[in-house]
Structure 1
Amino acid sequence: MKYAKNILETIGNTPLVKINKLTKEIDALVLAKVETFNPGNSVKDRMAVKMIEDAEADGRLKPGGTIIEGTSGNTGMGLALAAIVKGYKLICVISDKQSKEKMDILRAVGARVVVCPTDVEPTDPRSYYSVSKRLATETENAWYVNQYDNPSNAIAHYEQTAPEIWEQTEGKITHFVVGVGTGGTISGVAKYLKEKNPNVKIWGIDTYGSVFKKYHETGIFDENEIYSYITEGIGEDILPKNVDFSLIDGFTKVTDKDAAVYTRKLALEEGIFVGNSAGAAIKGLLQLKEHFKPEDVVVVLFHDSGSRYVGKMFNDDWMRERGFLEEEVTKALDLIKDHQDKPLVIVRTEELVSHAIERLKKYKISQIPVIDTTGFVGSIDETDLFRSYVEDKNIADKPIKDIMGKPYPIVKASTSMEEISKLINKDNQAVLVELENGKHHIVTKHDIISSIK
């Protein structure tokens, strides 16, 4: 009988799948190494088990111990599977930008999940790097994995992932393209492939807000490049020891929007339901198309499963809120469809200014139309309100009509985006859109900017 003695024995031997529709403009054979076929649904299963086995072998991880790691979710899943089979406890420290699905999955497989803020320096005591290290010192019989600097990470891919790719392509691989986070995958695979054939080119996919590309090209660690970004699983604000820049031929950066859009394209056009970093990888590959020739065999690695991003990249509302949804905005009705079902926030001429201030705060808005019994007669704008307050501290107890500005222009739902843009200027901050049912909705400068693709 053929069976695995436990779930860990099913890790590896993931398929290579030809990409067909998305790579039509690339004159080369493009194959995806789809790592979602691993039991934990990501490439991280490989290195998670390797790191644990190596720590067991040299005594860093002792029987009944607690494994502690800072993770974007996938490494945590691999560690969790190994912890279950081998009898360890697991604490996963994760940043709050990671998807809820990742956190729920980690809890489902028995991990304790500690959530830390994303927008802090790596050295900040609240960062998931710092919290991981602190918990490791405070927890009895604990082992801190440190996937970023743990050499077993890259070794796993040198011993497993790369030989699989070499064998599956019969040694014909010419380019390897992969997102770079901890650096283990790209460095381990690159070392093996270049030993087999020094001419194989290795390309890393980076994201805006990360330091890898500039550091590789200039040797400069530029802190000005570090800022918050949405793409998960790739890019860093540190230089992990596992990133061997000498083995990498180049980097290309992919925007958050492109990564999200191409994640969905992979599902819709190739039937490959994979995660956010896969979208970045395939878009990065398209950006590198001039490097490929007809006889080339290009392998791109897809890290994880789309199931971990159902509430994000695969959610229309989430995509729309960030301006990532590829929707054509041409008229007034397109601009208001996201809030068409919500009532228009208004204030009346005889109400007090304090009432307008309360509504601005409550609804987190910047402009409010003013009405009386005849209809729209004025407007309140937070900038004008602030200016009036500076001039007169008693303004809150005055009626709206004493400080209101001119009423906003009213346009039909079919009015073009171009015409609406002309109406919004420094003297007029919004327009009102009249619907067929007689109701009105507001369009602001923010709505115009958000619609720009």
Structure 2
Amino acid sequence: MEVKNNILETIGNTPLVELHKVVKGMPCRVLMKVETFNPGHSIKDRMALKMVDDAEADGRLRPGGTIIECTSGNTGMGLALAACVRGYRCIFTTSDKQSKEKLDILRAMGAEVIVCPTNVSAEDPRSYYSVAERLSKEIPNSFWFNQYDNLSNRKAHYESTGPEIWRQTDGQVTHIVVGVGTGGTISGTGKYLKEQNPAVQAWGIDTYGSVFKKYKETGEFDEKEIYPYITEGIGEDILPKNVDFDVIDHFEKVTDKDGAVMARRLAREEGLLLGYSAGSAVAGLLQLKDKLKSDDLVVVVIHDHGSRYIGKVYNDDWMRERGFLDAELKVRDLISAKKQEEAFAGINRDDSVRQALKLMKEHDFSQMPVLNGEEVVGSITETDVLNYLLENPMEHAEQPVRKIMRQPFPEVSSDLTLSELGRHITKENPAVVATDRSGRKHLIAQYDILQAI
């Protein structure tokens, strides 16, 4: 029988998946190391287990002890898995910008979670770093793992993530793209790959409000670079010991908005429901596409699963409140929002104006396509019908619709954005026709746009 002894034995050996739609126009192939296949749905399972193993080996973590860690959620999840299997208590400190889903998951695994303010310095006694350090001094038989400076973090990726990527790409990888938080993933993975091929490039994805990029380029730790940001899991206001700036060749900053929008695109276009920082990583890669050649092979290493962000990135209200949703709303989103029973209703070109009026009243239509069989040959609006009936005797209501129809509504791609769609919908042309992936036609009118925004 193929049976794992416990859940910890399932960590690692995650798949590489090629990206297609979101990287259209890139000069080379782009693969993603999908770390959500780990049992805690995050790459942090790797380093959490390594830190526990190493702490047990040298006596820093003893039987019946308490695991203490400052975490954005994912490292906590990995440590909680180890604690469940090996019998430890867990206390985690985290910042108040983390998603509710992350905190609920940690509590579901039996951990105690203390939420600390984000907008304080690392040295402030209220910060999640300082609170974790204080608790480790106060609680007997406890150990603060400090993933930022615990070098078992990057060692885990040197021993597992790097070798896996080298083996899975048959040694053809030329670039890795990784969001940088503690720095363990990019530093450990990059070090291993560069030992196999010194030409491999390691590109770190940073966020606005973080110190990494400027420090790499100037050697200056500039506190003016530090300000609040929304993106979770990457960027720092400190310089963790796990960040090996000699391994990282370049840092690219990505806005909160671009990261969130790309995360949603990955879900919708690639079928990959991933975390916020995964969106940032791919968005950063697209910003760097001019640095790539046709024979390059890029591997994007992502951190966690989108289930951690259902109340944020994957929540339309949250996205809309921050002005993020308008950047990605497309015609297909309007189609998805329409009720399934809202069939593509039109009227035959030989039906009477009276029949058109009846249909419009019954279904509250403001406009309709005019059909000749399956073919759209024209269009009518309620204004067309009303003006015709007011200006002509009622017996003319029996005239065929083709007598008053105008040009067909334009047909547009379902990939059209709302801003692009706005150029097609005017006072004279109040609707468009779009076809979904199943080949079904839909009428998109001004009302549908108003409902969406």
Please, what TM-score do these two structures have when normalized by structure 2? Answer: 0.72
- Superposed displacement of residue 229, structure 1: 0.3
Q: How does 1:318-333 map to 2 (within 5 A)?
A: 318-326=318-326
Q: Which residue of 2 aligns with 1:74?
A: 74
| Partners of 2:261 and 2:327 within 8 A in 1 | no
Report Cα offsets for 1:368-411 as digits up to 9, x if no partner: xxxxxxxxxxxxxxxxxxxxxxxxxxxxxxxxxxxxxxxxxxxx
- Superposed displacement of residue 328, structure 1: 9.2
Quick check: 1:220 aligned with 2:220? Answer: yes
Quick check: 1:307 aligned with 2:320? Answer: no
Quick check: 1:60 aligned with 2:24? Answer: no
Paired letter, 1:153: N
| Partners of 2:209 and 2:229 within 8 A in 1 | yes
Q: How does 1:304-383 map to 2 (within 5 A)?
A: 304-326=304-326
Quick check: 1:111 aligned with 2:111? Answer: yes
Report Cα offsets for 1:86-126 as digits up to 9, x if no partner: 11000010100000000000000000000000011110000
Q: Which residue of 2 aligns with 1:265?
A: 265
Whole-Å Cα distance in 2 between the matches of residues 29 and 45 of structure 1?
27
Q: Which residue of 1 aligns with 2:188?
A: 188
**Secondary structure at the residue paired with 1:245?**
coil
Q: Which residue of 2 aligns with 1:203?
A: 203
**Secondary structure at the residue paired with 1:68?**
strand
- Superposed displacement of residue 327, structure 1: 6.0
Q: Which residue of 1 aligns with 2:167?
A: 167
- Superposed displacement of residue 25, structure 1: 1.3
| Partners of 2:176 and 2:298 within 8 A in 1 | yes
Report Cα offsets for 1:259-300 as digits up to 9, x if no partner: 111110100111000000000000000011011111111000
**Secondary structure at the residue paired with 1:326?**
helix
**Secondary structure at the residue paired with 1:247?**
coil
Whole-Å Cα distance in 1 between the matches of residues 208 and 34 of structure 2?
24
Report Cα offsets for 1:209-267 as digits up to 9, x if no partner: 00000000000000000001000000000000000000111010000000111110100
Whole-Å Cα distance in 1 between the matches of residues 100 and 306 of structure 2?
13
Quick check: 1:232 aligned with 2:232? Answer: yes
**Secondary structure at the residue paired with 2:84?**
helix
**Structure 1 residues 255, 327: closer, same or farther in 2, change over 3 A?**
closer
Return 5+ residue gaps in structure 1 as ranges: 330-450
Whole-Å Cα distance in 2 between the matches of residues 9 and 326 of structure 1?
43
Q: How does 1:400-419 map to 2 (within 5 A)?
A: none
Paired letter, 1:84: C
| Partners of 2:70 and 2:93 within 8 A in 1 | yes
Q: Which residue of 2 aligns with 1:39?
A: 39
Q: Which residue of 1 aligns with 2:241?
A: 241
Return 5+ residue gaps in structure 2 as ranges: 330-452
- Superposed displacement of residue 326, structure 1: 1.9
**Secondary structure at the residue paired with 1:176?**
strand
Q: Which residue of 2 aligns with 1:285?
A: 285
Q: Which residue of 1 aligns with 2:449?
A: none
Which consecutive aligned stretches of 4+ in structure 1 deviate over 6 angstroms post-superposition? none
Q: Which residue of 2 aligns with 1:158?
A: 158
| Partners of 2:42 and 2:305 within 8 A in 1 | yes
**Secondary structure at the residue paired with 1:51?**
helix
Q: Which residue of 2 aligns with 1:139?
A: 139
Report Cα offsets for 1:393-438 as digits up to 9, x if no partner: xxxxxxxxxxxxxxxxxxxxxxxxxxxxxxxxxxxxxxxxxxxxxx
**Secondary structure at the residue paired with 2:325?**
coil
| Partners of 2:211 and 2:237 within 8 A in 1 | yes
| Partners of 2:261 and 2:328 within 8 A in 1 | no
**Structure 1 residues 138, 206: closer, same or farther in 2, change over 3 A?**
same
Whole-Å Cα distance in 1 between the matches of residues 248 and 328 of structure 2?
39
| Partners of 2:49 and 2:78 within 8 A in 1 | yes
Q: Which residue of 2 aligns with 1:25?
A: 25
Whole-Å Cα distance in 1 between the matches of residues 218 and 302 of structure 2?
28
**Structure 1 residues 52, 327: closer, same or farther in 2, change over 3 A?**
closer
Whole-Å Cα distance in 1 between the matches of residues 328 and 59 of structure 2?
59
Q: Which residue of 1 aligns with 2:6?
A: 6
Paired letter, 2:63: P
Quick check: 1:254 aligned with 2:254? Answer: yes
Whole-Å Cα distance in 1 between the matches of residues 146 and 241 of structure 2?
10
Paired letter, 2:308: R
Paired letter, 1:124: D
- Superposed displacement of residue 168, structure 1: 0.2
Q: Which residue of 2 aligns with 1:177?
A: 177
* Identity fraction in percent: 70
**Secondary structure at the residue paired with 1:61?**
coil
Whole-Å Cα distance in 1 between the matches of residues 125 and 264 of structure 2?
36
Whole-Å Cα distance in 2 between the matches of residues 321 and 22 of structure 1?
25
**Secondary structure at the residue paired with 2:264?**
helix
Whole-Å Cα distance in 2 between the matches of residues 251 and 327 of structure 1?
24
Whole-Å Cα distance in 1 between the matches of residues 178 and 89 of structure 2?
31
**Structure 1 residues 116, 328: closer, same or farther in 2, change over 3 A?**
closer
Please, what TM-score do these two structures have when normalized by structure 1? Answer: 0.72
Q: Which residue of 2 aligns with 1:275?
A: 275
